[in-house]
Each structure stands twice: as structure tokens, then as C-alpha cells.
């Protein structure tokens, strides 16, 4: 069962993104549903991706379908984007 979305966590999540430790991966994984395919949503996602990349983060985007039905491919893509341990 899915946990309900908690709006109160948004400020904490934003703060944590600006206070990452050196050990934390700088990788953003986005899972996009159907609502992301309108012209407005695509434009917003492009701008958001550009912003995240401008602050040194790498962005990987997957569709709900990929996560639900091709999870091994998703995991492989994430593993390839993750640097090997020192």
C-alpha cells in the first residue's frame, strides 16, 4: 500500500539537497507519469533538468512503464551512472 504524500517534507527535502555530504551521490532519478507529456510539463522538466545540471547534479529520467515493466534496465542505467567506489 502506498504511503500518503506528505507536503510537510518538502522544505526538509529542499534543505537536504543543499547540505549533501561528500559521500552522497549527486544523481537525481526522476520517474515520470503520463502528466509529464504535455507541452507545459515537458518544458518544465527541461528547465528543471537544466537547473539541476547547472548545480552539478546528473539527472536520469524514466517512465512509469519502464520502472514497472523494465526494472532491470532501469537499475542497469542507474548503476552505469553511479561512479565506482574508491
The cell numbers describing 3, all together, are: 504511503
The cell numbers describing 21, all together, are: 555530504
DSSP per residue, 18-41: TS--TTS--EEEEEE-GGGGSHHH
The cell numbers describing 52, all together, are: 539541476
pTM, two decimal places: 0.68
Whether 59 contacts 32, CB under 8 Å: no
Distance CA 57, CA 27 (A): 6
* DSSP structural state of residue 82: S
Q: Where are the domains of the chain?
A: 26-81
Digits of tens for pLDDT over the chain (86 positions)?
456 667 787 888 788 777 777 766 888 999 988 777 788 888 999 999 999 999 888 999 999 999 999 999 999 999 999 877 77
Amino acid at each position: 500500500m502506498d504511503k500518503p504524500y506528505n507536503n510537510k517534507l518538502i522544505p526538509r527535502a529542499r534543505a537536504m539537497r543543499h547540505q549533501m555530504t561528500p559521500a552522497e551521490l549527486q544523481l537525481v532519478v526522476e520517474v515520470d507519469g503520463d502528466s509529464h507529456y504535455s507541452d507545459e510539463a515537458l518544458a518544465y522538466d527541461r528547465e528543471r533538468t537544466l537547473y539541476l545540471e547547472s548545480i552539478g547534479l546528473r539527472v536520469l529520467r524514466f517512465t512509469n512503464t519502464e520502472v514497472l515493466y523494465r526494472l532491470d534496465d532501469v537499475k542497469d542505467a542507474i548503476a552505469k551512472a553511479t561512479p565506482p567506489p574508491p
